[in-house]
Structure 1
């Protein structure tokens, strides 16, 4: 089995959209325009490809994005710098095989050289103890709760400290910036001025 974690490409978007909208009630549905927003603006948008098949994806955004997710906005109001995991989706055929942990290791490597916190939320209604346990064992702590809208589900807002960031900031970011090596590079995001700037939020399942 050949596994690759790579930045999303435009030709992946139809498959990503189908995978997202088949994921069930813990993942908010997307339309093509909403997915295009992520393609053009997400700081982290990577897919897992196994033997040529799309097996999953993870989308994360840093602070300062024009994004109206109530959970993203909660973190923006409470923390000056963070990376927010908007959603992770794993195809049914590849669940419970550790792919979620691989994604979280990868997004942590992305985040810890840029921000001090990695954030996300999990549903408490309905509560999924597998998801709660996954995040707890990966170092996330609850920093708040809120309801998504007047009739939406209650969510637990989670944050994970990234202790490597202090060293990176003092050694590199406060001076000449990160070294120019491929694994530290930002993803190349195509930006089109006619793309809507605000989109709805999504949830996650490892």
Structure 2
């Protein structure tokens, strides 16, 4: 499995993949995805089967969930979105993307949020298996989704 930086040519396919999973990660426009990739601390794809976009504490707040961590953590890598194609699930791609991110974390914790309403039980279980622990909850004022904040110590 090959992990590499997301390139402009990848954006149409990754946008379609992202928007196929809008309930979990929120829909984007092409321009919005390109902007996220451009400002990300890490924006990586794996064999065309999925991708991960992460911000750090130096990235200007990218919504209330990223802002929540900025207010509470001096240094971190925040997983804004990780999406794996349905036909590629169960092959360890998401785990590999997280391992790749951890390799550049430089002793910073990893953090993210997962939907509680609407429920995303598979993502909660996945993050628990990776050693993430709950550290807060909130309602996203943009869309009314209730989220759980998760943190994995460095």
The answer for the alignment partner of 1:199 in structure 2 is none
CA spacing shift, 1:150–1:46, aligned 2, 3 Å: closer
The answer for the alignment partner of 1:203 in structure 2 is none
Superposition deviation, residue 127 in structure 1: 2.2
| Correspondence list, 1:1-206, <5 A | 3-49=1-47, 54-111=48-105, 113=106, 115-149=107-141, 152-162=144-154
How far apart, in 2, do the equivalents of 1:150 and 1:12 lie? 28
**Are 1:39 and 1:45, in contact at CA under 8 Å, matched by a contact in 2?**
yes
Q: CA offsets per residue over residues 83-139 of structure 1, 9 Å max, x none?
A: 10000011111012211111111111111x1x4211001111122322211111211
* Structure with bigger RCO (C-alpha 8 Å, 6+ apart): 1
**Are 2:134 and 2:151, in contact at CA under 8 Å, matched by a contact in 1?**
yes
Given the two structures, how large is their TM-score scaled by the length of structure 2?
A: 0.93
Superposition deviation, residue 68 in structure 1: 3.1
Given the two structures, how large is their TM-score scaled by the length of structure 1?
A: 0.71
**Are 1:61 and 1:85, in contact at CA under 8 Å, matched by a contact in 2?**
yes
- Which protein has the bigger helix share? 2
Name the larger-Rg structure. Answer: 1
How far apart, in 2, do the equivalents of 1:89 and 1:128 lie? 13
Secondary structure, in 3 states, of the residue corresponding to 1:36? helix
Secondary structure, in 3 states, of the residue corresponding to 2:144? coil
The answer for the alignment partner of 1:190 in structure 2 is none
Secondary structure, in 3 states, of the residue corresponding to 2:79? strand
Secondary structure, in 3 states, of the residue corresponding to 1:25? helix
Consecutive aligned runs of 4 or more in structure 1 exceeding 3 Å deviation:
none
Structure 2: stretches of 5+ with no match in the other structure: none
**Are 1:140 and 1:158, in contact at CA under 8 Å, matched by a contact in 2?**
yes
Structure 1: stretches of 5+ with no match in the other structure: 163-206
